[in-house]
Structure 1
Amino acid sequence: MDDESVAPSPPPRAPITTADVLAWLEQTAEAARAGELDAPALIDLLGQLRQASTACANASDWALLAAREAGASLRQIAPVFGKGYVRAPAARLEKLHREVLSSEQFLELMRRRMGGG
């Protein structure tokens, strides 16, 4: 048997970063200042951003559930909520658990809400 080592794949990354958003925002703001975007275009853009924000919040909720299922403690999770307290992730988990008990159930709920299953 060959002893070829396969490099592990890198961990998944969020599909968008703060730097991506800032670069996009600077370009879009410049286009708006130049008069290239009118009010209807900006309103359409606002709608797209609101939908993207909801999608990111849903992805965050899924990751929170999955992290807990993988054994992460609330103390380990708390710093990503911006505070050193476990209240924020605990409250979010409590709210999520009113609808679903696992990350897989959450994913199925999102599929149903989006008409994908």
Structure 2
Amino acid sequence: MSGDEYPSPEPPVTPAQINEWLRTVAESARRGELSADELIGLLGQLRAASTACANASDWALLAAREAGASLRQIAPVFGKGYVRAPAARLEKLHRQVLNSDQFLELLRRKESGES
């Protein structure tokens, strides 16, 4: 199979893209080109996107551990280099699911309104 048959493992958006977008939108807001209602709608969209990013992050954490990554390898991604942060997050996730596949199923059920 060629590499073209698999989606890129890169996230669909980068911090640089978001920051550039933010500068542009902030300038529009400063010029008064966005109403309060438009900004509230934007806030709702960003909060939903933030939740989706957090879910993707949780899935990647579970998948990395399943692929054999140690907490010491994962810790720098959490910013401080301490294993407590990813360990605590894994513990919380494991109260709901055992692996990344179960996590995806949980997300699917939440999206479809199942309990």
Offset from partner CA, 1:53-108 (integer Å, 9 cap, x none): 00000000000000000000000000000011100000000000000000000000
Q: Give the structure with higher Rg (CA).
A: 1
The yes-or-no answer on 1:80 pairing with 2:77 is yes
Structure 2 counterpart of 1:96 = 93
Return the alpha-carbon distance in structure 2 between the equivalents of residues 7 and 39 of structure 1.
48
The number of residue pairs the alignment matches comes to: 112
Choose between structure 1 and 2: higher helix proportion: 2
- Code of the aligned partner of 2:57: S
Return the alpha-carbon distance in structure 2 between the equivalents of residues 58 and 20 of structure 1.
20
Give the TM-score normalised by the residue count of structure 1.
0.89
How many Å apart are 1:42 and its aligned residue?
A: 0.4
The yes-or-no answer on 1:62 pairing with 2:53 is no
Structure 2 counterpart of 1:3 = none
Return the alpha-carbon distance in structure 1 between the equivalents of residues 8 and 32 of structure 2.
41
Structure 2 counterpart of 1:52 = 49
Return the alpha-carbon distance in structure 2 between the equivalents of residues 54 and 80 of structure 1.
18
Change beyond 3 A, Cα 1:116–1:8: farther
The yes-or-no answer on 1:112 pairing with 2:109 is yes
Return the alpha-carbon distance in structure 2 between the equivalents of residues 82 and 66 of structure 1.
19
The yes-or-no answer on 1:15 pairing with 2:9 is no
Query: In angstroms, what is the RMSD of aligned CA positions?
Result: 1.7
Gaps of 5+ in 1: 1-5
Gaps of 5+ in 2: none
Runs of 4+ in 1 over 6 A off after TM superposition: none
Task: Give % identity.
Answer: 72
